[in-house]
């Protein structure tokens, strides 16, 4: 029987990546002076889960690193060693190494073996940190592994288990011994009451042993205890050795026979208080179970060598931590499943259809006599409610908390700040705010750029800040929250703020139309102009990566806009406002002739019926309409789209004032129909891009209505001549 | 509808050789001419329903309709190739095609049947004589007295001439 392991590999890779991200998040959040025990446990669990998974898949390089990491973590969480900033740094380095190794397995990217060895040595030397002169021991400790990593499993991240069997026949004992022997070195001893005990040195964990034994025995009758791993022992011995100044000759038997080492172990335990390794595994497992992290044992269940019928089942369980990692609720019991995004989209589509059908039924029943059809009408109104609930529930599937984005910043801020020699306190607000998955993925890059900018150019060096009377530590905050139908994401720093004069001077030198009396808001928008690097303007440090114009373009493409507030000396806030989802749009339906179009409500400022005297003709330029003292270009939709209108005189129809990119225009239409939420459908999936149209939607009657691309319409209105459709 | 079409197929299709693609053809008429397209490209056949006009689109693109939540453009072949009178009533037929990963509706005068053509029944297309450019023709199929103009619908619908797909360079 062969099992296709590749699918499990993928799950393992995904999950390990999540665990690493989770670990990093926890490490960055931890308070070094007073670490929370629960947080330490969570970090430990993450490391342990990775080790378990990697061991299962035979990725020994990952297990090697995680094992040292785990040992050190274990000491800290048990209070044997105080957490220090060096530890956190070392853990972060280890995390990067693990990520590199993971990518090495997954994407075949090169792995820097030196970095791996360095990280391991660093961790090992730290784990003997209670004696600073431990370096020789550490190097000795590493040496045998580097020289002979492969042939004997014991050299790697060996662990020692004592397995006490219940009464079984000799034949079974022999069979078990042969099976377990595949895992590592095994030895047998007979116990007084006729039972048998094995001592096993292997790289796996007790789950594997249980899995193997369960072919012959009831796992309940089995007693497995983990004993001090051989390598830990050598470290302990090294300590003893140094203390006793007896030289290193003592180390020759690196692989002592099981009995010997057990005896030695017992002796050491008694002498040096390493007893905490006893029952290590079982104790730890109890703890994880109590914490509700069922995936830890689940991960360890599949055994490569075993013909394990239950192998597919860990996949189901493994799907669980996704949400947890995203939601940051590591303790609460969360269950989730991984589902392909196309399935969700299909569901959303179908529900959209249902809503339309429901609207149709509602429309048809409206004409019925409420007295005669009371029961039918009641049912229909119930259907309406249920459909709305269903739609809301389905739409929420695509929503992901902003934490998904925010969580990647603490590390970046930390690294960048230390590189630049700045001190920055990073805070986030509203990480639970939910946003459409499609938008979340596209907001990451612009946001990264803005955060980088704030650190690079916004927040000043500590001495500058001190001189300005501010605290030396700069404050950078990321926040997200709902405002009306939008989500607003803000990047705020308390740095130097933008320099109005420099921006204006730069704009002038680039030939942009600026004047000294421009309002601040307009001046700040200049930094979004292409080729207008904030670096050159504000600080003279050169920028990197995408420019602010790309940030602006990306956000505009998502239907959002960017706003800057800045005060010199007090900092800058860049505020991004995005629609909640791309799939649903608040629209205003309008009518021209017999055709109905949708205007995205976000662009609509107001609608009015102009006075005939306010409509003026400008030769060769079309008409303008005067609204509150402002002359706005009049865009007759019937001309743009070649429709036979009911009215050609704006004072008989309606003009809708639209605003996009700070430019206003008056769209002349026949009538307003109503306001509704519409499901945006792509026109390009089966047709092609149509100028002036951004998409389509399905109306309550099942017909199709086109959504007007207001931004394009306003852009083109400037080239509009009186009797020519610009799109033809 | 799709099911109906397919259930007709086996009548003539016993000796279908699946090694050669497009053995079965859906026959439809445009004006007085009879055309055939690969049946596997046909998703379904529907009646004509009200379309939403697309501003500034060519005449033969009637607009878009809602096909179970998908926005589908409707092309009137009679206008495109100047064949027959473009009338729209309850007998007007729209063939919903699935070509090049897209769904497109095609208005024709009527749909007659599904026929199986063996390779020897298909003659090369003449240099001239049909409304369609010979580039889009597979050949001429003959069944007794009938002659089907076999159209490579994939090529036709994705051609720049139809303007259904954005040109990459544009």
pLDDT tens per residue across span B107-160 = 998 898 898 888 888 888 777 655 667 778 888 888 888 888 888 888 888 877
Within 8 A of B165 by CB-CB distance, chain A residues are 688
Contact A686 B104 (CB under 8 A): yes
In this structure, the number of other CB atoms found within 10 A of the CB of residue A612 comes to 9
CATH class of A341-398: mainly alpha
Give the long-range contacts of residues B128-135, CB within 8 A, separation 24 or more. Answer: B130/B33, B131/B30, B131/B33, B131/B81, B131/B82, B131/B83, B132/B81, B132/B156, B133/B161
What are the φ/ψ torsions at residue A630 (nearest 5 degrees)? -115, 135
Residues of chain B contacting A, Cβ within 8 Å = 50-57, 63-66, 68-73, 102-104, 163-166
Predicted local distance difference test score (pLDDT) of residue A539:
44
Q: Which of A635, A637, A687, A728 to mutate to test the interface with B (most CBs of B within 10 A)?
A: A687
Q: Which residue in B50, B55, B164 is closest to A703 by CB distance? A: B50
- A716 forms beta bridges with none
Is B71 in contact with A689 (Cβ distance < 8 A)? Answer: no
Scored b (16 or more CB within 10 A) or e, A72-105 reads bbbbbbeeebebeeebbebbbbbbbbbebbbebb
In the prediction, which pLDDT does A646 show?
85
Residue A387's closest CA among A362, A356, A355, A357?
Answer: A355
- Do residue B72 and residue A686 have CB atoms under 8 angstroms apart? yes
HEC letters along A599-655? EEHHHEEEEECCCHHHEEEECCCEEEEEECCEEEEEEEHHHHHCCCCCCCCCCCCEE
The tally of CA atoms less than 13 A away on the side-chain side of residue A710 is 26
- Element (DSSP H or E) covering residue A207: helix A206-213
| Fold designation for A401-579 | Heat Shock Protein 90 (3.30.565)
Three-state DSSP class for A147?
helix
Q: What is the pLDDT of residue A19?
A: 81
Task: Report the Cα A540 to chain-centroid distance in Å.
Answer: 33
Are B116 and B61 a contacting pair, CB within 8 Å?
Answer: no
Q: Which residues partner with A491 through β-bridges?
A: A478, A574
Residues 6+ away with beta carbon under 8 Å from A558: A439, A442, A443, A578, A579, A582
Q: Any idea which residue has 């004993």 for tokens?
A: A227
- Check CB contact under 8 Å for A696 and B71: yes
Residue located via tokens 């709305």: A388
- Cβ-defined contact of B102 to A686 (cutoff 8 Å): yes
Instruction: Please give the helix or strand (H or E) that residue B44 lies within, else none.
Output: strand B42-47
Q: Nearest CA of chain A to the CA of B104: how many Å?
A: 7
How far apart, in whole angstroms, are the C-alpha atoms of residue A214 and residue B157? 63
* CA-based nearest distance A545→chain B, Å: 27
Q: B24, B139 in Cβ contact below 8 A? A: no
A395 three-class SS: helix
Query: How many CB atoms are located within 10 Å of the residue B96 CB?
Result: 21
According to DSSP, the β-strands at A663-669 and A630-636 are: parallel
Q: Which residues, other chains included, contact A446 with Cβ-Cβ below 8 Å and sequence gap of 6+?
A: A550, A551, A554, A555, A576
Say if A341-398 and A401-579 have the same CATH topology.
Answer: no
Per-residue model confidence (pLDDT) at position A334: 59
pLDDT for the residue numbered B96: 93
User: What predicted TM-score, i.e. pTM, was given to this entire model?
Assistant: 0.48
Superfamily classification of domain B2-157: CheA-289, Domain 4 (2.40.50.180)
CA distance B63 to chain A (A): 9
The top-level CATH class assigned to A159-227 is alpha beta
> What are the extents of the domains in chain A?
6-127+278-327, 159-227, 341-398, 401-579, 584-717
- The first and second tokens of residue A323, run together, are 């949400």
CB contacts under 8 A, A 572-631 vs B, are: 595
Buried-state track A437-456, b at ≥16 Cβ within 10 A, e below 16: bbbbebbeebbbbbbbbbbb
Contact of A678 with A596, CB cutoff 8 Å? no
CB contact under 8 A, B71 and A688: no
Residue A562 · residue A551 · CB < 8 Å: yes
Angle between helices A409-420 and A437-453 (to 10 degrees): 10
pLDDT computed for residue B95 by the predictor: 93
pLDDT along chain A (728 residues), means of 10: 63 79 80 77 80 77 80 78 80 83 79 81 74 39 38 49 70 70 70 70 66 64 63 46 45 48 50 45 44 42 42 41 41 68 82 80 83 90 89 82 86 85 88 82 85 84 87 89 79 85 80 78 79 51 56 80 85 84 77 89 86 82 83 86 83 87 84 82 80 83 85 70 40
Chain-chain contact of B56 with A690 (C-beta, under 8 angstroms): yes
**Which residues, in sequence order, are CB contacts of B82 under 8 Å at separation 6+?**
B131
Among B56, B67, B97, B169, the strongest candidate for a mutation testing the A interface, having the largest count of A CBs within 10 A, is: B56
- According to the model, what pLDDT value does residue A269 have? 47
What CATH code would you report for A584-717? 2.30.30.40
Question: B165, A688: Cβ pair inside 8 Å?
Answer: yes
With contact defined as beta carbons under 8 Å apart, do A599 and A587 qualify?
Answer: yes
Contacts of B163 in chain A (CB under 8 A): 688
Pick the CATH number of A6-127+278-327 from 3.40.50.300, 1.20.120.160, 3.10.290.10, 3.40.710.10: 1.20.120.160
Cβ proximity of A551 and A449 under 8 Å: yes
Q: Do B50 and A693 touch (CB under 8 A)?
A: no
Q: Do B56 and A349 touch (CB under 8 A)?
A: no
Could you give the dihedral angle defined by the CA atoms of residues A323, A326, A329 and A331, in that order, rounded to the nearest 10 degrees? Answer: 60
Counting one residue from chain A and one from chain B, the pairs whose CB atoms sit within 8 A come to 76
Q: How far apart are CA B115 and CA A290, in angstroms?
A: 69
């Amino acid at each position: 029987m062969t099992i296709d392991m590749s699918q499990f590999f993928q799950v393992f890779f995904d999950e390990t990546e999540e665990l690493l991200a989770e670990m990093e998040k926890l490490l960055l959040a931890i308070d070094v002076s007073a670490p929370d025990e629960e947080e330490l446990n969570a970090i430990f669990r993450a490391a342990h889960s990775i080790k378990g998974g990697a061991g299962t898949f035979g990725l020994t390089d990952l297990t090697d690193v995680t094992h040292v990491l785990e040992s050190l973590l274990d000491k800290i969480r048990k209070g044997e060693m105080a957490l220090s900033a060096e530890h956190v740094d070392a853990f972060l380095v280890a995390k990067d190494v693990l990520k590199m190794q993971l990518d090495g397995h997954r994407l075949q990217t090169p792995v820097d073996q030196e970095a791996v060895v360095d990280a391991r040595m660093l961790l090992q030397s730290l784990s003997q940190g209670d004696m600073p002169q431990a370096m020789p021991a550490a190097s000795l400790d590493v040496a045998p592994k580097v020289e002979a990593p492969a042939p004997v499993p014991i050299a790697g991240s060996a662990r020692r288990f004592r397995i006490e069997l219940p009464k079984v026949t000799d034949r079974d004992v022999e069979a078990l011994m042969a099976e377990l022997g595949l895992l590592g070195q095994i030895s047998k001893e007979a116990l007084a009451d006729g039972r048998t005990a094995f001592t096993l040195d292997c790289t796996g964990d007790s789950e594997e042993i249980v899995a193997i034994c369960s072919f012959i025995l009831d796992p309940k009758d089995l007693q497995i205890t983990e004993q001090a791993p051989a390598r830990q022992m050598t470290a302990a011995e090294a300590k003893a050795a140094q203390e006793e100044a007896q030289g290193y000759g003592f180390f020759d038997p690196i692989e002592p026979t099981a009995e010997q080492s057990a005896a030695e172990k017992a002796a050491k335990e008694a002498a040096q208080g390493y007893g905490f390794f006893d029952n290590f595994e079982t104790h730890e497992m109890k703890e994880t179970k109590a914490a509700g992290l069922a995936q830890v044992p689940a991960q360890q269940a599949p055994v490569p060598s075993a013909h394990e019928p239950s192998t597919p089942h860990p996949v189901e369980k493994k799907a669980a931590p996704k949400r947890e990692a995203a939601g940051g609720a590591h303790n609460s019991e969360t269950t989730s499943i991984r589902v392909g995004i196309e399935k969700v989209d299909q569901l959303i589509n179908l529900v959209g259809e249902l809503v339309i059908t429901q609207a149709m039924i509602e429309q048809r029943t409206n004409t019925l006599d409420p007295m005669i059809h009371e029961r039918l009408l009641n049912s229909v109104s119930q259907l309406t409610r249920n459909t709305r609930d269903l739609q809301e529930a389905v739409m929420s599937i695509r929503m992901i908390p902003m934490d998904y984005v925010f969580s990647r910043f603490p590390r970046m801020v930390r690294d960048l700040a230390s590189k630049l020699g700045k001190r920055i306190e990073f805070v986030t607000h509203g990480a639970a705010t939910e946003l459409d998955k499609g938008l979340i993925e596209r907001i990451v890059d612009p946001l990264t750029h803005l955060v980088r900018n704030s650190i690079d150019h916004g927040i000043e060096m500590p001495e500058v800040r001190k001189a300005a009377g501010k605290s030396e530590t700069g404050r950078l905050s990321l926040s997200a929250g709902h405002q009306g139908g939008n989500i607003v994401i803000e990047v705020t720093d308390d740095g130097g703020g933008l320099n109005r004069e420099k921006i204006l001077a730069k704009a002038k030198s680039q030939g942009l139309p600026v004047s000294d009396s421009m309002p601040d808001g307009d001046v700040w928008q200049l930094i979004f102009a292409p080729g207008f690097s904030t670096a050159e303007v504000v600080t003279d440090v050169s920028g990197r990566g995408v420019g602010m114009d790309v940030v602006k373009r990306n956000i505009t493409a998502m239907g959002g806009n960017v706003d800057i507030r800045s005060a010199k000396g007090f900092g800058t806030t860049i505020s991004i406002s995005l629609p909640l989802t791309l799939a649903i749009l608040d629209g205003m339906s309008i009518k021209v002739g017999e055709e109905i179009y949708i205007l995205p409500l976000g662009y609509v400022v107001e609608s009015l019926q102009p006075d005939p005297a306010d409509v003026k003709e400008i030769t060769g330029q079309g008409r303008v309409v005067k609204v509150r003292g402002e002359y706005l270009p009049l865009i007759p939709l019937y001309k743009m789209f070649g429709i036979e209108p009911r009215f050609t005189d704006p004072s008989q129809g309606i003009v809708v004032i639209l605003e996009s990119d700070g430019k206003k225009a008056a769209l002349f239409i026949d009538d307003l129909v109503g306001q509704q939420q519409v499901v945006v459908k792509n026109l390009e999936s089966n047709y092609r891009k149509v100028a002036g149209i951004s998409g389509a939607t399905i109306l309550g009657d099942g017909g199709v209505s086109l959504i007007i691309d207001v931004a394009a319409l306003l852009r083109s209105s400037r080239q509009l001549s009186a009797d020519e459709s610009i799109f033809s | 509808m799709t099911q109906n079409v397919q259930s007709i197929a086996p009548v003539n299709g016993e000796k279908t050789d699946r090694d050669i693609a497009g053995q079965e053809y859906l026959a439809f008429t445009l004006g007085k001419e009879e055309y055939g397209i690969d049946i596997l490209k046909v998703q379904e056949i529907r009646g004509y329903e009200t379309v939403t006009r697309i501003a500034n689109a060519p005449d033969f693109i009637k607009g878009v309709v809602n096909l179970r939540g998908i926005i589908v453009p409707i092309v009137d072949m009679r206008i495109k190739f100047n064949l027959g009178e473009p009338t729209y009533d309850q007998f007007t037929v729209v063939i919903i095609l699935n070509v090049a990963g897209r769904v497109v509706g095609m208005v024709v005068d009527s749909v007659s049947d599904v026929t199986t053509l063996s390779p020897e029944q298909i003659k090369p297309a003449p240099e001239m004589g049909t409304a369609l450019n010979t580039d889009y023709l597979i050949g001429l199929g003959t069944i007794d007295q009938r002659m089907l103009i076999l159209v490579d619908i994939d090529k036709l619908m994705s051609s720049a001439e139809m303007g259904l797909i954005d040109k990459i360079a544009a």
